[in-house]
Amino acid sequence: MYRVRIPIGILLITIVALLGYTDYKTNTAYATSSIMGLALLIALWEFYAMAKNRNYAPYTVYGLISSAIMVGMMISNKVFLDPFAILLCGVFIRFLFDVNKENALENCAITVFGLVYVYFLFSFVLRIRNIGSELQHNLDGLYYLVFLIFVSKSMDIGGYLVGKAFGKHKIVRGISPNKSYEGAIGGIILAVGVAYLFRENISVIRESLTLTHTIIFACLMAILSLLGDFVESLIKRRCDVKDSNTLIPEFGGLLDLIDSLLLTAPIGYYYLILFISN
C-alpha cells in the first residue's frame, strides 16, 4: 500500500506545486483555478454517479453544464452569490418536467445536494485563490490556497500514519472505522507543525496571521478536514460504494481526494477574510 500511496501522494503534491509555480511566473490565477475547476466538475459527476448506484436519477447534465458556467465566471473573478441562486431556480424548473416520474422529488433534492455539497463548498477554493487578485502582481491568494491545502492534507497524512501505527480507539465505527482518536491527535499535531513552517518561511502568511491565529487556524482546519472525511464516508455508505471512483490508485476518485477541503475551504476563507492582519 505504501509503495503506491506515497509515490502518488508525492506526484499530486508536485502537480499542485507546478500549478502554483505557473501562476507565479505568469502572474495569473488561470493554472490553479482551471485545474481546481476541472476537479470540481469531476467530483460533482462522481457524486451524481454514486447516487445513480441507488437507482436515483439526478439531473447530471444540467448540474455539470451550469456548474461549468459558474466555474468559468469564478475563474474570470466575476461571480457573485446571485448566479448560484439562478442555478438553483433552474433545478426546480427542471423538476417540473419530471413531476410525474418515480422519485422525482428525490432526484431534484439529490441534484441540489450535489450542487451545494460539491460545487458551492468547493467553490471557496477558487475564492481563496482570488483573494487580492484585483491588485496587479498580487499572488497572496495563491499562497493562502497552498497554505490551506497543505494544512488540511497534513491532517489526512498525520491521521493515516499515526492511526496505522498506534490507532486503537475508533472515533465513529459506523461511518469511518479506520479513523482513530490517536490518528486524529497525530493529524492535528502535524497540521499545526506544517502551519508553523509556512508562517516561518512565507512572508505573506507571517504578515497576515499572528502565531496565535496560525495555531487556531491549523487546529480548526484539521478538525474540519476530519469531519469532511466523515461526511463523504457517510454518503458513500448510503450509496453502497467504497470509493467515489477508481481514478487514482489507493486514493479513489477526485471526490475522495477533495472531501476534506469541502469543509475547510469555506471556513478557511472566512477566517482569512476576518482575521488577516492588514
pLDDT at 241: 82
Residues in contact with 218: Cβ distance below 8 Å, sequence separation at least 6, in sequence order? 151, 188, 191, 192, 194, 195, 196
> Phi then psi for 41, rounded to 5 degrees?
-65, -40
pLDDT in tens, 240-277: 888 777 677 666 788 888 899 999 999 999 999 988 85
Question: Residue length, the chain?
Answer: 278
pTM (2 decimals)?
0.87
Helix boundaries (H) for the chain: 2-26, 30-52, 60-75, 81-96, 104-114, 121-129, 140-166, 181-201, 203-208, 211-238, 254-258, 261-275
pLDDT at 132: 73
CA distance 27 to 165: 43
Task: Provide the 3-class DSSP secondary structure of residue 119.
Answer: helix
CA distance 189 to 157: 11
Bridge partner residues of 129 (DSSP): none
Lowest pLDDT segment from 25-34, 36-45, 225-234, 243-252: 243-252
Distances in Å between the alpha carbon of 266 and those of 87, 128, 150, 233, 257?
19, 9, 16, 20, 17
pLDDT in tens, 114-171: 999 999 999 899 889 888 765 555 678 889 998 999 999 899 888 888 888 887 888 8
Cα maximum dimension of the chain: 60
Query: If you average pLDDT over residues 174-202, what whole number do you get?
Result: 90
CA distance 101 to 108: 11
- What is the chain's alpha carbon radius of gyration, rounded to the nearest angstrom? 19
